[in-house]
Amino acid sequence: ALCIVGGQKVWSIRVDVRALDDDGNLGDVCAIAALCSLLHFRKADVEIRGEEARTFTAEERVPVPLSIHHLPVPVTFALFAGTGGAGKEGEPAWILDPNRLEEAAMRGALCIAVNQHGELCGVHKPGGMPIDFAMVEHCIELAVARAKEITSRIQSEIEADLLKRKETKKNIHQQFNQATLLTVDWSASDAKEASKPSAPAPPPQRQVLPAVTPAVIAPVPTAASVESLQDASAAASASGSGARWRTRAQGRQAAGPQDAENGMAGIDRVALEAGIAQAKGDLLIEQIMQWQHTTTISSLPRPLALAIIRQCTHFGPYPFWLKRTILKLKPQSCNFCHESTAWRVPVAMEQVLHVDVCIIGAGPAGLAALSAIHEPFSLDQLSKDQSERALRNLRNESGDQKVCVVDPMPWLSHWKRRFKALDIKWLRSPAMAHPDLFDATSLRAFAGAKDRESELLESDVVNSELKSLEEAHNGLWKLPSNRLFEDFSDDLASRLPHEFVHGAAACVEGDDGDFRVRLTDGREIAAGTVVLALGVPGQPVIPQSLLGIPPSLLFHTDFQQGFRLAELEEKHEVLVIGGGLTAVQAAQLAARRGCKVTLCSRRPLVTRHFDVATRWFDKRHGDRLRFEFFSQPLEQRLKGIKAARGGGSVPPAYMEELKEMGSKVDVLCADVQVHAILDDAVEVLIQGKIRRFDRIVAACGHAPQCCSIPVVHELIAKSPVELAGGLPQLSPDLQWGEHKQLFVVGALAALQVGPDAGNLMGIRRAAQIVARVVGRRDWLIDTKSVLGNIRGNRYAALSDSEDGIGERSTNSNGGSSSSDGEEELVAKLQPQRCKKCEKTTMKRKKGGRGKA
């Protein structure tokens, strides 16, 4: 319909939609408005003569309609957590076509696009609570019926409009000037309609869980307000919501006999409708604003509570505090119009969640931080005797803190999507690298308990570099499968107490002990401590020479969490740009799908077991490397990170698989230049030859830029910190600026954690630091014991002892009493003068524990 000359000339259409009023579900309304606009639109007629194309004006030829064969109608469902027994969540509930208040309280949304033939055009679920496939199928069935109804109404309205235009113009095909075409006088048609006898109003249609707009109770309805009902109705119609208001009013007037049993006895129906009209003013809004300081909606009479909610929902701006009201859903009959609906009962006026710790981010870093905050100690940092003593002393310690996790998606959603898109079977990190901070061997133990030890792959790094380490022979350096790691992480998240808040953090305000985390939907979380675990910062990198290629032919592996990798089809010529593991994985994925692949890198591929050298993970060298790293200034640290990571590397197993693919993957080391961009392909100049590719995949990593994350951008504006290479400068304890209870873990903390900050090993170290600073390990520190002061060991209270040293008990005054062994040790310390510096010091005499 838009093509004039194939490959040369084509019409382009842009639809601008401006919302004059918003009562909720604005996306569906805009889409339907765009459909109506396209159906009503007429484009100029065009005539082709040889190589010339002549466009006729409206005076010369009648404009022609677009050829539209499919009308994809979006149908949106608001999702809510159902209420089950014993305070647990039951089956999810949903509402079709949600209004503004329902959108503010929903836990997620599901949009299904269906055309008039019942064909599924698209499904969109932008985060929120998870739902099962059975519910999606049920919603699709409802969407099909709703789409057919909307399509039928659209077509009938378009046909009626065309009929009116034909009757007015007598002959729609006659030539006329543009002014006459664009202006139509409906006076004759309106007079004809007015002369017809009025037909009885049809009963209100029953919809699938329709939005409810029952009457609003004004503070003091008066006779004057009754007289102004018709004027207010006309004003509401002029504002765009009159039709919906009048339809609901008719349904309410039909109700009445059951008012007494529904708590509406003694209320004048006419005065009640007058209250609806007066709701366009500010009187009721102001009174409601006063109520919020004295009472809660849930304590008001049920009809009045319903009236307040719906008044604020359907008539103009409403108080921000009411938008953040927590709602429960109970399907039942409406008190006013008796239609099947979902009654909304406010539980709390302010939706402010109070927690001890708020973790922003539900990736591996967020899960590790959650584990570190809840676990009282880590077994891998204590000896066996110390662990046993810690378990005995643990019974006297305080309980778990209240923690919430904020993320638009469930746990590890981005991780799972990306690994699934690239078809990654095995992790690159060893089995001891995982988010469980209590026990480094828990992933291996999980595999044994589930009889899945076959999903732990032997690594060559043990035989080549780590043969002398104890961990090399107990399975901790084996590589787990991705399925095993995901199942382990899901199990860990289900066991750790926390409240998961589905939403995106917009900003962090306040100070230590009194932070306010504001979400994009207006909700707030009050927390004493905030942990930012936000993953990889910055935008995906596209080589400069490829920026002119349209997105239909070029995409990054991380676009939409790798969703576009599904475009790689059999017999496609695919060019993969990159020199790291992701580039190799993308090339292997395309080759397995039958594509002819060319992998191009600016430098030869580097073979390495991990992202950084193995000695960074080796306890014999790791501490020294980190000490040298932290002793450098920020600029040198940034260079050290790039040098340690080396611009990407590939494990030996992947290199072997790449060689086995042979001619399916052509590996080149060269620069790439675009020669020509075609409609469905790109011609590229590589090593002096022009090659044609159907798709180009960029796997060049990310450019670090923490300001690209909205919550970090707002935080920098309010609490500035120095940036180096797009990364923030934190304190050695990973604290942000002057804040002592605002922490950063993950890739954002690379300048203070090291080159492996974004990897599982670095995430574990960062989470340990956070747990120590917030005081979750304080109960292990022996500050009152002389033994602890002498040894300088923060875990002295749990120290190994041959004669009872290290056992600690609590006396009646709440202090710690030393054991007999400790008193014996103190008695054998006597002041002596140093022979070299002549200063008095404490020296242990022979005969005490240990050597003199």
The pTM of this model reads: 0.56
CATH fold of 3-191 reads Ribosomal Protein S5; domain 2 (3.30.230)
Q: What are the structure tokens assigned to 671, written together?
A: 């620069």
pLDDT at residue 625 tops 70: yes
| Dihedrals phi, psi of 416, to nearest 5 degrees | -65, -40
Asked if 443 and 402 count as a contact pair (C-beta separation under 8 A), the reply is no
> Are 81 and 89 contacting, i.e. CB atoms less than 8 angstroms apart?
yes
Name the CATH topology of 354-537+706-778.
FAD/NAD(P)-binding domain (3.50.50)
What integer best gives the mean pLDDT of the chain?
72
Mean pLDDT of 515-530: 90
- CA-wise closest residue to 212 among 374, 386, 338: 338
Q: In this structure, what DSSP letter does residue 314 have?
A: H
Per-residue pLDDT, averaged over 270-289, amounts to 42
Please say whether the beta carbons of 217 and 273 come within 8 A. Answer: no
Q: Which of 816, 822, 805 is nearest to 396 (CA)?
A: 816
> Domain 544-611+648-698 class?
alpha beta
pLDDT band at residue 278 using 50, 70 and 90 as cut-offs: very low
Mean pLDDT for the stretch of residues 203-215: 35
- Whether 322 has a pLDDT exceeding 60, the answer reads no
CA angle (660, 666, 667) in 5-degree steps: 90
Domains 3-191 and 544-611+648-698 share a fold: no
Q: Which residues are CB-neighbours of 270 under 8 A, at least 6 positions away?
A: 226, 229
Give the CA distances from residue 204 to residues 23, 25, 252, 255, 420, in Å, rounded to whole numbers and listed in that order: 20, 21, 10, 12, 48
> Taking the mean position of all CA atoms in its chain, how far away is CA 274?
44
Q: What is the pLDDT of residue 394?
A: 63
* Three-class SS state of 42: strand
The DSSP result for 436-487, as a single string, is -SS-TTHHHHHHHHTT-GGGEE--THHHHT-TTSGGGGTTTTSEEBHHHHHH
Of how many residues is the chain composed? Answer: 852
Query: What is the distance between the alpha carbons of residues 588 and 585, in angstroms, rounded to a whole number?
Result: 5
CA distance 479 to 611: 14
Per-residue pLDDT tens digits for 217-226? 333 333 333 3
Taking a C-beta distance cutoff of 8 angstroms, is the pair 290, 296 a contact? no
The model's pLDDT over 9-47, given as tens digits with 9 standing for 90+, comes to: 888 888 888 888 888 889 999 999 898 888 888 888 888
Dihedrals phi, psi of 438, to nearest 5 degrees? -80, -40
Token couple for 747: 């890739």
Contact call for residues 610 and 617 (beta carbons, < 8 A): yes
Q: Where are the domains of the chain?
A: 3-191, 212-350, 354-537+706-778, 544-611+648-698, 782-844
Q: Are 123 and 173 in contact (CB under 8 A)?
A: no
CA distance linking residue 493 with residue 498, whole number of Å:
9
Tell me which H or E stretch contains 373.
helix 364-374
